[in-house]
Amino acid sequence: MKPRNMLESFNCAVEGFKYVIKTQKNMRLHFEIGVAILLLGILLDLNKIEILILCGTIVSVLLAEMINTAVELTIDLITDTFHPLARIIKDITAGAVLIVSLNAVVVGYLLFLDKFTRQIENGIFRIKQSSWHITFISLICVLSLVIISKLFFHRGTPFRGGMPSGHSAMAFSIWTIVTWVSQNNLLSVLVFVMAAMLAYSRIKKGVHNIWEVIAGGIMGTLVTVTTFQVLSR
């Protein structure tokens, strides 16, 4: 049914976007990455031209994914049996998405390379200038408390499974150390993402449940913050 006015056309457009987001895993992934990259660009203080280039690149990836989805649905609507040409058309549109995505990677690399390099080098320099013994004591405290907690809850072994997750605790302890010492937002975000991925992998492998991982993360963060507050005075 054809929209009767501009408002209905706008609503139809929004519904189409919502449908692709809800049903297409790749679209959700591209959308989430696009938002994260845009926020990172703002955080790193990209200029107006760089932000415009970034927005244009992100939009091109999302448009390519939406067109790919529309073509696939159209082909499925026309024929419900396998046809070589239908397969080729789907492959071509998927290839278009791939090319646009590769272009986005190149654009992101060129825009962020210098800023990433400077930020990370500054953060690493500050870490090198810090007192290493506080970091060492923090990690020992976290590891000891994890083992004691596992013995208390009688779940898992000291170095595998149980409450809380030792991997999560150590990962978020390291994130807290890097954040505290480097005072570098970019480096902190990168290490946080790595810590979160490691924690998620423990859930994915079935070694821990989500609450054990969350408990480990909170423990690692709080113990490390407390250690630095006490010993940095």
Q: Helix (H) and strand (E) counts for the chain?
A: 8, 0
Nearest 5°: phi and psi at 146?
-60, -50
Our answer to whether residue 212 is catalytic in this structure is: no
- Joined together, the tokens standing for residue 162 give 């149980």
Q: In sequence order, what E strands does 72-125 have?
A: none
Q: By three-state DSSP, how is residue 155 classified?
A: coil
**CA dist 39 → 36, 47, 58, 194 (Å):** 5, 13, 12, 18
**Looking up tokens 């506080």, which residue turns up?**
134
Catalytic site residue from 15, 32, 50, 65:
65
Q: By three-state DSSP, how is residue 160 classified?
A: strand
Distance (Å, whole) CA 191 – CA 195? 6
**Looking up tokens 């800023």, which residue turns up?**
115
Nearest 5°: phi and psi at 209?
-95, 175
Residues with catalytic annotation?
65
